[in-house]
Amino acid sequence: MLESKLVGTRKNLPKGAKAVLYALKQAPEMLSARDLCFRMKLSKLANESVAPGLTTVYRSLELLTRLGLAQAVSVGDSEKRYEAIEEGEHSHHLICKICNNNIKLKDCLLSSIEEIILREHGFSVSEHLLELFGTCKSCTLAANASGVVADQIIKLERKTGEKK
Ligand SMILES: [Zn+2]
Ligand SMILES: [Zn+2]
């Protein structure tokens, strides 16, 4: 539905999509369409030009995602979050269910799995989505200040530290 009308290419983005991409690149974190729209309104107030409406923001994000210039991330609620990405790249996030903070993983951990899938099933994966949900370190530490889980984390950190 939403994606039907707005067309464009990476080189020839509609004006609204350009503005959305620019705003997305400036954003310090992943944003929902609604939050992005709000941010754009705030920044436009300063220079008096007109910010795109929510519908344009939604459509532009759809387009940017389709063109591989933005990535949509499901964080567990109904609103997707978006972030700007470099062409051909993608990222994965660890999302804390307590504080909603997210940590972007530096590397894609799935390429080896894709190799196994190709080998065992003859299936070549062209794309994948992976977000990992759980409890971040500070929430875990806060919840278990003197508990067992905190000890486990410290042990784990020692282990990974040793490997390096
Ligand atoms: Zn947390
Ligand atoms: Zn990946």
Q: Does residue 120 sit within a domain?
A: no
Q: Does residue 115 sit within a domain?
A: no
CB under 5 Å of ion ligand 1: residues: 96, 98-99, 136, 139
Strands (E), the chain: 31-32, 70-73, 81-84, 93-96, 102-104, 131-134
The bridge status of strand 131-134 relative to strand 93-96 is parallel
Predicted local distance difference test score (pLDDT) of residue 157: 77
Phi-psi region of 68 (alpha: psi -120 to 50; beta: other; left: phi over 0): left
The closest ligand to the CA of 105 turns out to be 2
Domain count, the chain: 1
CA of 148 to the centre of ligand 2 (A): 32
CA of 148 to the centre of ligand 1 (A): 18
Evaluate whether 21 touches 77 at the Cβ level (below 8 Å). no
Q: Does residue 51 sit within a domain?
A: yes
Q: Does residue 24 sit within a domain?
A: yes
Q: Does residue 94 sit within a domain?
A: no
Q: Does residue 80 sit within a domain?
A: yes
Q: Does residue 79 sit within a domain?
A: yes
Q: Does residue 21 sit within a domain?
A: yes
> Against a cut of 0.95, is the pTM above it?
no
Q: Which residues constitute the domain of residue 77? A: 1-86
Tell me the β-bridge partners of 95: 102, 133
Going residue by residue through the chain, which has 164 residues, state the pLDDT in tens, using 9 for 90 and above.
444 445 667 778 888 899 999 999 999 889 999 999 999 988 876 666 678 899 999 999 999 999 999 999 988 788 899 999 988 788 899 999 999 888 999 889 898 999 999 999 999 998 898 899 999 999 999 887 756 666 666 677 777 766 54
Question: b/e for 111-140, b at 16 or more Cβ within 10 A?
Answer: eeeeeeeeeeeeeeeeeeeebeeebbeeeb
CA of 93 to the centre of ligand 1 (A): 13
Side chain identity at residue 45, one-letter code: L
Backbone φ and ψ for 151, nearest 5 degrees, come out as -60, -40
CATH of the domain at 49: 1.10.10.10
Distances (CA, A) of 107 to 7, 48, 89, 103, 129: 31, 40, 10, 12, 13
The bridge status of strand 70-73 relative to strand 93-96 is unpaired
CA of 129 to the centre of ligand 2 (A): 7
Please tell me the number of Cα atoms within 13 Å of 30 on its side-chain side: 22
